[in-house]
Structure 1
Amino acid sequence: MFLGYNTNGFSYHQLTDAIEIIAELGYRGIGLTLDVHHLDPFRTTRSEITAVRKILESHNLRCVIETGARFILDRRRKHQPTLLSPVDSERRSEFLRKSIEIAQELNADCVSFWSGTPTEPENREILEQRLIDHCLRLCDYAASRQVKLAFEPEPGMLIDKTAEFEILFHKVNHPSFGLTLDIGHLICLEEPVRDTILRWKDHLWNVHLDDMKRGIHDHLMFGEGEVNFQETFATLKEIHFNYGAYVELSRHAHDAVRTAEKSFRFLSSYLTE
């Protein structure tokens, strides 16, 4: 297990500068959020991807590909369209396929994604089947490129809790399909941290770290919420988690360097206990 940092917390930096700073602070992984100015999958060139790969290799950094950019597909609507959209869900699917291709080029541990929120009043069964169909096709595409997909339950989305993910997981039933777990989300939705980690130990490929309070989906600086980090890290060590635990504080990007530095100091003490 190692600490990483999500580039959505460096949204005002050039990507190469962000990676250099994150590495210098001591992190061993990059959560690379593909965004309009950070390897936009629809516009980036092979040479840009190669340059990022070389920087990662030079610092011996692992990475995951994150796909939660807010306005990359629609400049007016946050996180739209999604895999649930009745008309243009294929646009989201195309974005994810291109993300898988970048993940392959960067030798990423996984591509992380979520269901999204429906914008039309459709029957839940129809929405779930649409999501399952997309997930199956994406899993086949990822498997053909030896890339793992890690699905993230997200508060307010169709698949929000791990109980909902469990249903989806069994319906997709694909070896390339695993879990991204945001520890703060568990607190927000009042799910047990230890039991959840233990339940998903064989399919947990990506962890997000932030602090959060019960009932409030707000990514807080460490120490400002209710997450028990001693329990969290102890349980991850217990399952021999050998992927990255990535800080996700996108709303702190205005103070990116100090936030990343403070986060590393706070979390590294738990990592070495």
Structure 2
Amino acid sequence: MSLRLGYGTNGLTDLRLDDALGLLADLGYDGVGLTLDHMHLDPMAPELAARTRRVAGRLAELGLDVTVETGARYVLDPRRKHGPTLLDPDPEGRAARTGLLVTAVRVAADLGAHAVHCFSGVTPDGTDPATAWKRLEEAMGPVLDAADAADIPLAIEPEPGHLVGDLAGFHQLRHRLGDPDQLGLTLDIGHCQCLEAASPADCVRDAAPWLRHVQIEDMRRGVHEHLPFGDGEIDFPPVLEALAATGYQGLTVVELPRHSHAGPELARTSIEFLRGPGVRA
């Protein structure tokens, strides 16, 4: 089974969205990981529904599938990276993040996306674990309700340093929430190399029942830095073989958010690497 490859717009922030989508289609990508942010599809600006319809038309014209990603750095607060989160001490902050995710579900439904990506956030200083988990459970409730109503999977990403920071954290959240049907997993292959005890290929196999979105890049052990393919330590053929064997039907999205200055070239070299005979599943 051939993997369906995408590229994240958070690595193409120097391009207009129409130009980024055209580039990816021309390069042969199957889809795009669309981060809702001010430079592309701004979830906070007026006439979101109309702008979303236009993007949906462009995606259809180009034959691109889409995942909606919500990792924009300053979309809610211009002074706090990724803030506020679902763990924010301020209830209004948590509500703002919940509201953004509910909006993302609505956008995903209008785009025909196959999932909405999200993350827990870092536990704030002075917050005990029990309180952090309680906040996360409560904040996720309306998002899961919206995802269920729209029939859009919600894919939470274990992020190094976050409350949900690894696969064990994902399973803890899943169990605490009662294993809801709409809650799935965003598996970042680099994060597996960075901090999981198992190999990235074994992580894929272990996570297979819950895979709803996959991000991919190179990375080194113990260093959370997204790297172009070949600059890290990951042995990719076993990873791609494991992904193909799961039957996962969503996008596998290249995630290079700090390389936008070289985005068009890295989009080209990334698909050549992943489709190349040496690593192709």
TM superposition score category, shorter chain reference: over 0.9
The aligned counterpart of 2:62 is 59
Within the candidate set 14, 18, 34, 1:16 is matched to 18
Q: Aligned partners of 1:212, 1:134: CA distance in 2, in Å?
A: 31
Q: Aligned partners of 1:19, 1:119: CA distance in 2, in Å?
A: 37
Deviations 1:229-272 (A, max 9, x none): 10110101111121111000011100111010010100112674
Within the candidate set 207, 210, 227, 1:200 is matched to 207
The aligned counterpart of 2:87 is 84
Alignment of 1:224-243 (within 5 A): 224-243=231-250
Alignment of 1:153-172 (within 5 A): 153-172=158-177
Deviations 1:94-137 (A, max 9, x none): 11111111001001000000001133311111101110122232
How far did 1:47 drift?
Answer: 2.3
Letter in 1 for 2:189: I
The aligned counterpart of 2:259 is 252
Unaligned residue ranges in structure 2 (runs of 5+): none
* Greater shift in the superposed pair: 188-197 or 229-238: 188-197
Aligned length: 273
Letter in 2 for 1:24: D
RMSD over equivalenced CA pairs, Å: 1.2
Deviations 1:48-67 (A, max 9, x none): 11111011111221110000
SS of the equivalent of 2:208 reads coil
Within the candidate set 72, 75, 80, 2:78 is matched to 75
Letter in 2 for 1:248: E
The aligned counterpart of 2:113 is 108
TM-score by length of 1: 0.97
Q: Aligned partners of 1:158, 1:109: CA distance in 2, in Å?
A: 25
Maintained 8 Å contact 2:274/2:280: no
The percentage of counterpart residues that share the same residue type is 38
The aligned counterpart of 1:267 is 274
Unaligned residue ranges in structure 1 (runs of 5+): none
Letter in 1 for 2:65: R
Maintained 8 Å contact 1:190/1:215: no
The aligned counterpart of 1:30 is 32
SS of the equivalent of 2:259 reads helix
Maintained 8 Å contact 2:11/2:255: yes
